Structure 1
Amino acid sequence: MRLSSVVAVWLVVLIGLTFGREVHAQAVSAAQAFADLSATAEASADNTAENSTGGLASILARQRCLTGYTFDGSQASLGLNVNMTSYKLFNPDTNAFDTVSMRSYNGCPAGPTISVKPGMRLNVTLNNRLPPESSTTCPPNPDPSVPHCFNTINLHTHGMHVSPSGNSDNVMVSVAPNASFAYRYDIPANHPAGTFWYHSHNHGSTAIDVSSGMAGVLIVRGTRTAAARASNGGIADIDTILHRKERSQPFREHVMLFQQIEYGCFENAAASAPLADPVTQAWVCPQGSVGEIRNYTNQLNFVADPRPGHAGEVNSTWAISGRYTQINGVVQPVFPGVASYVPAGEIRRLRMIHGGNRDTINVKIVRANLAALGINDSSALSAADVDSATRTAAARLAASHGHAQQTTTLDALCSGETVKQLEIAVDGLTRSSIVEKDVNTLDPGYRSDVLVAFPRPGLYCILDEAANAAATINFRRNSATVKDRRLLSFARVGPGNNIPDYSDDGLGHSKYWQYVRNQLVDANQNLPRDVLADLNRLDTHVFAPPRVTDGVPAKTVSDTFDVDASSGVPHFVINNRLYDMSRIDYTGTLGNLDEWRVSTTVAGGGHVFHIHVNPFRVTDVLNASGQSIYDSTGACTQAEIATGDTQYCTQRDVLRDTIFIKPGYTLVLRTRYEDFIGQFVMHCHILDHEDQGMMQNIAIVSGKSTSTPNAPNTPGASNVPKVTTPAWLANNPLLGGLLAKLFGSTSSALDAALAASMCGTKR
């Protein structure tokens, strides 16, 4: 963004505060506005128009932290500064804001959204401005099963099909405090469009970084049409059909980055356990204290549960803490804002990214019970009615302290019609057909792109729905049995075009499916005849990535994820082995198709399988009895449906890069190693498990060789990029401190805007 653009944005903000939007926002001032991370002009306009409390400084900080980057050329550059940042997070338990000090990108609760295109080179300079390491947390030869080096970082582009070597997506790089590293990502010209993300991936500190908020969204935007797919190698992008009939305007999109910031406040500088309420054991932050993430032992862990009613259980510190999942750095925001609405019937694209680490999120959209809010529900609600509903619902939730009271309030308020989500892409990759979901289950690392249209004006609840704990990442033997219900966001829907009550089509499709289908077909009459016929069934296989996973596998790879507690200390292992950076666990051949069978033990709980560089296709899921959960049509069997957990039922034949493995289940996955040789990793994306050893090294070699190549990132090779503090800076602490003061400050929005301008970036 250029300086002139920054000044113009500030003027828009100030004008907005002076006139009508400010007054309108005060009508629902009990709530927080949604912060849209989409790198689009529409998102920027909404963000600048929203009222922000705290004066000019908070307004400027909001605008700075919600500014994304859209690149259109063949090459683009930007800088990411990593430093400790203080900001405030809303705490629903106290209806107040807690001050936290977290590791961050560019001084913000979430990293900037970066939009690129296939065939582009993306240059990212990663500047580590975190405090120096201590010998206690970062010993010279750390145990790979013990989290370590909390202020040493790198950068991983999750889900991107790019080189894993050299200065590209190389997670063997380590960038120490006061050092920088220049990344260069050459995005293949045939890279699929979709939703991806980036985060730090230095082994030993991945979880503490991501749980601090060090995550950002990376969008690949595509313009390849179905009509021209023959000249584009058979590739077409679903982006090209997601528009309205009128003037072919694209559907409005919203980025939703879900994070779990597991901060605690401490009695003193030496304390390791967060302060907790003596009765509920929920973590508390007294006035004047600052929340932190200090360690993995009492944060980011499973511990004996001290809460009443949980005697004998070993549960996640996330559940015990009482913290809430946030969206784009805001806890329980009002979507799309406290001063705006989504028109009824208008199709919106939600790019949902689970950039957290501590919980499974079950996204469900439910109409609020307006009668319970004292409002006569009708199909012609006014804007004033929606304001009143928002104000009353926010006030009732604010009076509900603690999870139990919040759940009771939500059960009373959020009991109306379920709004279907039509999923168009999984993990950034377009599905071969669009499916509708009542509940969309997201585990750490997942992405889901959905089309949503609200049926009529009113207030809606975007929930993190309750679930059987065995269907979540927080289940182990002797843990709790249920995940409770939470509010992610309230959604305000204003007058528009109500969705008709379509007649039953005899195929089991809801009115939402029929409405979206009709809107897409009407808006895309110029598609090739065969593609339009497919679209009439919401068949989108033309826009899905080519099926490179067809064929006979060359090898079968078996990996079992487990928690070995036989020694009295839990060890997070794969095939009974802890991670060893110098060991290659599996060698594959470029161009080959392999079958991976990944499983978990019942005792070890659930884990999240993620592999870098090449996605995989889910070909089967076997239950604890070794039986497929799918029938001959690819639908879930009645036995699987009877378990009450149907999260795998829409996964057959889906292409993705991250997937949850339920306790006792085996997933059959097929992947082909394309384009790149070198070394990368496979691991559990419950990142504290990875940091404690649940990871393997994978090497892909050319078909001309059967040995592991001396790739640029092979452990032990002399050319491994190990980035350390330059001697001239290490020997001059005064100069280092001065540079940190000059360039590490996050209080000045003008400095940040000028830095972005100097990077040559643009909106």
Structure 2
Amino acid sequence: MQQDPNGASSVTSTMGTTTLSRRQLLDCGLKAGALSLFAGAANAQHAAHDHAGMSHTADMSPTMGMIADTPVPAMDQPLVEPEVRRSVNGVLSTTLRVGYAYRQIGGVRLYVRSYEGGSPGPTLRMKPGDTLRIKMINDLPPNRDGLPADISHPHQFNNTNFHFHGAHTSPSGISDNVMRSMAPGRSYNIEITLPADHTRGTYWYHPHHHGSADIQMSSGMVGAIVIEGDFADVPEIATARERLMVLTQVVYDANGMVENFETLFPETATRFLAINGQRRPMIEMRPGEVQRWRILNAAYQDDMLLDLEKHDLQAIAYDGIQLGAMQPLKQVLIAPGQRADILVKAGSPGTYAFNAAQYDQGHPSPVGPLARVVVSGAPMDMKLPRALPPAPLATIKDSEITNRRKVVLSATAPEADAAGHWQEFEFFVDGKKFDPSRIDQRVKLGAVEEWTIVNTHEHDDHVFHIHTNPFQVISANGKPLAVPEWRDSVIVERKGGVVVFRSRFIDFTGVYMLHCHMMNHEEMGMMQTVEVYKA
């Protein structure tokens, strides 16, 4: 194995069949929403096979080098959480293999790209000041296509890279650099060091290679990162059972694969929803018990409006940043890329539906049951906290602002929008499609800026996301927020929706991205480069 200056090593590509247990997903009536794919216990049996001519029959003969999947119930099984990998002595050192794997999910056998043979990938747990070291092995087969004339046409689905979504860290070198291209058949070193004062909370990782990110994320190449220590001094939260819920949309073609952009683009493409790769799992609670739910919307395209029957949802953090006070909510709207940390206090014994409720984002968001919460057993006398510690980031005052700028999201679509082919659509930021060789926004290191994001698209909401530095939303559609919210992703409504936020561009120079986190839109051009420079 030989290293090159870009942190890549040659490896022998080995593809294998993977027998995955307890893969399940949830049926969505109208369209697709946020799903979570799960990396449960996976027993990998490696055998070489022909990708072009493979069969998807479950009872393959052992003489063909295949192992039959163990039958598993399609739904209604206890919620299973992904494998956890933790930092030790300030370093989380691990390997992530990207390759095809079989998955049983919702009664369907899929063959899709994955991290470590599962979906989601392993949960990474670390602390502020820790270093994340990953050996990323791209064990996918070679690409069969070249670069298209229009780089915002999906292409080269087996190139990948790694993005630590929401992290305040360097975007350069072998750190959180989404400009890297990790081609098949090689391994790549990634090293990301968090500042000692980094916010603590729920984050995640996913590929961000322009041209292939959408295909890979929709296949289930996502995983959670927990930066530990938030609310450690709040006993009502620290003693609560913690549950990780990765929401995803499940899509596949007639062969149980995701190999063509037409599989993703129609608004009705999603087959069903999942939590941790399970269809309608069961979440067990005792009467009066308080649980902390870390909810990640890792869906490739759609918002999700979360509703727990006969229960309030107490928000304590958004996008990995603690709130200064609990927000009691009847429903939680969570967009692709966003996270919501929720406290749930169980009511009387019974079974309660955890649903995706109706929401209009220009097309119907996913609707239907996500899970069943079963409350039973001996009661527990657990309390919700009366107060939370102050929020970790200081509010940005008017006097701090050094510059203001405006960013416009727009798109073109055929007249018969819902029936259009993806090549009839184009997505823009400031009237331009993404060009990685062009710098669109230049910001001086140390600047404190106020940005106005406008969505002129008639048909769809968009989800604005920017890397490296979080931002504080101060108003939406002309209405100031009573309490400004720190976020790294925010919904900008269609037909002239406006969001105003403020951000501190501190600590790190380099080039990174802003884009719509509805990945169909990003893949088709709705992305810009941001360069932070030191004068």
CA distance in 1: counterparts of 2:296 and 2:383, whole angstroms:
22
What is the correspondence of 1:476-515 to structure 2 with a 5 Å cutoff? 482-483=364-365, 485-497=367-379
Alignment-derived partner of residue 102 in structure 2? 86
Counterpart code for 2:406: S
Q: Does 2:55 align with 1:66?
A: no
CA distance in 1: counterparts of 2:388 and 2:161, whole angstroms:
39
1:484 to 1:564, Cα distance in 2 relative to 1, 3 A: closer
Residue among 467, 488, 509 paired with 1:677:
509
* 1:236-290 C-alpha deviation (Å, 9 max, x unpaired): x42331447xxxx62110000001121121xxxxxxxxxxxxxxxxxxxxxxxx3
How far apart are 1:295 and its partner, in Å? 1.4
Counterpart code for 2:126: V
Q: Does 2:340 align with 1:448?
A: yes
Q: Does 2:349 align with 1:457?
A: yes
1:238 to 1:144, Cα distance in 2 relative to 1, 3 A: same
Residue among 303, 309, 314 paired with 1:360:
303
**Number of equivalent positions:** 463
CA distance in 1: counterparts of 2:37 and 2:489, whole angstroms:
26
What is the correspondence of 1:510-521 to structure 2 with a 5 Å cutoff? 516-517=383-384, 520=385
CA distance in 2: counterparts of 1:566 and 1:587, whole angstroms:
34
Residue among 519, 525, 531 paired with 1:693:
525
1:142 to 1:133, Cα distance in 2 relative to 1, 3 A: farther
* 1:620-657 C-alpha deviation (Å, 9 max, x unpaired): 112xxxxx234xxx45xxxxxxxxxxxxxxxx400010
Counterpart code for 2:488: D
Alignment-derived partner of residue 232 in structure 2? 239
Q: RMSD of aligned C-alpha atoms? A: 2.8
SS of 2:521 mapped into structure 1: helix
Q: Which has the larger radius of gyration?
A: 1
Q: Quick check: 2:509–2:533 contact (8 Å CA) kept in 1?
A: yes
Q: Does 2:114 align with 1:101?
A: no
Identity score, percent: 30
Q: Does 2:384 align with 1:419?
A: no
Q: Does 2:321 align with 1:429?
A: yes
Counterpart code for 1:678: G
CA distance in 1: counterparts of 2:273 and 2:299, whole angstroms:
8
SS of 1:350 mapped into structure 2: strand
Alignment-derived partner of residue 10 in structure 2? none
Alignment-derived partner of residue 325 in structure 1? 273
* 1:345-370 C-alpha deviation (Å, 9 max, x unpaired): 1110000000111321111100xxxx
1:65 to 1:426, Cα distance in 2 relative to 1, 3 A: closer
What is the correspondence of 1:311-710 to structure 2 with a 5 Å cutoff? 316-318=267-269, 321=270, 323-335=271-283, 341-366=284-309, 418-467=310-359, 469=360, 472=361, 475=362, 482-483=364-365, 485-497=367-379, 516-517=383-384, 520=385, 536=386, 538-541=387-390, 543-547=391-395, 551-565=399-413, 569-622=424-477, 628-630=478-480, 634-635=481-482, 652-663=483-494, 664-702=496-534, 705=535
How far apart are 1:130 and its partner, in Å? 0.5
CA distance in 2: counterparts of 1:129 and 1:686, whole angstroms:
27
Residue among 119, 131, 145 paired with 2:129:
119
Counterpart code for 1:346: E
TM-score by length of 2: 0.81
CA distance in 1: counterparts of 2:487 and 2:218, whole angstroms:
23
Alignment-derived partner of residue 5 in structure 2? none
Q: Quick check: 1:562–1:604 contact (8 Å CA) kept in 2?
A: no
Q: Quick check: 2:39–2:118 contact (8 Å CA) kept in 1?
A: no
1:432 to 1:243, Cα distance in 2 relative to 1, 3 A: closer
Q: Quick check: 1:549–1:593 contact (8 Å CA) kept in 2?
A: no
How far apart are 1:86 and its partner, in Å? 1.0
What is the correspondence of 1:721-740 to structure 2 with a 5 Å cutoff? none
CA distance in 2: counterparts of 1:444 and 1:483, whole angstroms:
12
Q: Quick check: 2:37–2:120 contact (8 Å CA) kept in 1?
A: no
Q: Quick check: 1:562–1:605 contact (8 Å CA) kept in 2?
A: no
Q: Quick check: 1:549–1:617 contact (8 Å CA) kept in 2?
A: no
Counterpart code for 1:70: R
Alignment-derived partner of residue 183 in structure 2? 176
CA distance in 2: counterparts of 1:620 and 1:77, whole angstroms:
41
* 1:718-754 C-alpha deviation (Å, 9 max, x unpaired): xxxxxxxxxxxxxxxxxxxxxxxxxxxxxxxxxxxxx
SS of 2:399 mapped into structure 1: coil
CA distance in 2: counterparts of 1:599 and 1:583, whole angstroms:
21
How far apart are 1:571 and its partner, in Å? 1.2
1:64 to 1:301, Cα distance in 2 relative to 1, 3 A: closer
Q: Quick check: 1:38–1:255 contact (8 Å CA) kept in 2?
A: no
Q: Does 2:257 align with 1:292?
A: yes
CA distance in 2: counterparts of 1:63 and 1:251, whole angstroms:
17
What is the correspondence of 1:32-47 to structure 2 with a 5 Å cutoff? none
Alignment-derived partner of residue 6 in structure 2? none
Q: Quick check: 1:115–1:219 contact (8 Å CA) kept in 2?
A: yes
CA distance in 1: counterparts of 2:149 and 2:98, whole angstroms:
23
CA distance in 1: counterparts of 2:505 and 2:499, whole angstroms:
19
* 1:500-532 C-alpha deviation (Å, 9 max, x unpaired): xxxxxxxxxxxxxxx844xx3xxxxxxxxxxxx
How far apart are 1:144 and its partner, in Å? 1.9
Alignment-derived partner of residue 131 in structure 1? 141
Unaligned segments of structure 2, at least 5 residues: 1-21, 28-35, 42-68, 416-422
Counterpart code for 1:621: A
**Mean Cα displacement is larger for which, 565-574 or 169-178?**
565-574
Q: Does 2:156 align with 1:301?
A: no
CA distance in 1: counterparts of 2:413 and 2:329, whole angstroms:
38
Q: Quick check: 2:100–2:140 contact (8 Å CA) kept in 1?
A: yes
* 1:584-626 C-alpha deviation (Å, 9 max, x unpaired): 001001111011110111415211100000000001112xxxx
CA distance in 2: counterparts of 1:602 and 1:194, whole angstroms:
33
SS of 2:223 mapped into structure 1: strand
Counterpart code for 2:313: Q
CA distance in 1: counterparts of 2:37 and 2:413, whole angstroms:
43
1:617 to 1:115, Cα distance in 2 relative to 1, 3 A: same
SS of 2:150 mapped into structure 1: coil
1:262 to 1:566, Cα distance in 2 relative to 1, 3 A: closer
Counterpart code for 2:150: D
TM-score by length of 1: 0.58
Q: Quick check: 1:345–1:496 contact (8 Å CA) kept in 2?
A: no
1:566 to 1:115, Cα distance in 2 relative to 1, 3 A: same
How far apart are 1:552 and its partner, in Å? 3.4
Q: Quick check: 1:363–1:464 contact (8 Å CA) kept in 2?
A: yes
Unaligned segments of structure 1, at least 5 residues: 1-24, 26-30, 40-52, 91-96, 223-236, 266-289, 303-315, 336-340, 367-417, 500-514, 521-535, 623-627, 636-651, 706-763
Q: Does 2:155 align with 1:167?
A: no
1:577 to 1:128, Cα distance in 2 relative to 1, 3 A: same
Q: Does 2:242 align with 1:253?
A: yes
Q: Quick check: 2:396–2:502 contact (8 Å CA) kept in 1?
A: no
Alignment-derived partner of residue 210 in structure 1? 217
How far apart are 1:553 and its partner, in Å? 1.8
Alignment-derived partner of residue 52 in structure 2? none
Higher strand residue share: 2
How far apart are 1:342 and its partner, in Å? 1.2
Q: Quick check: 1:212–1:261 contact (8 Å CA) kept in 2?
A: yes
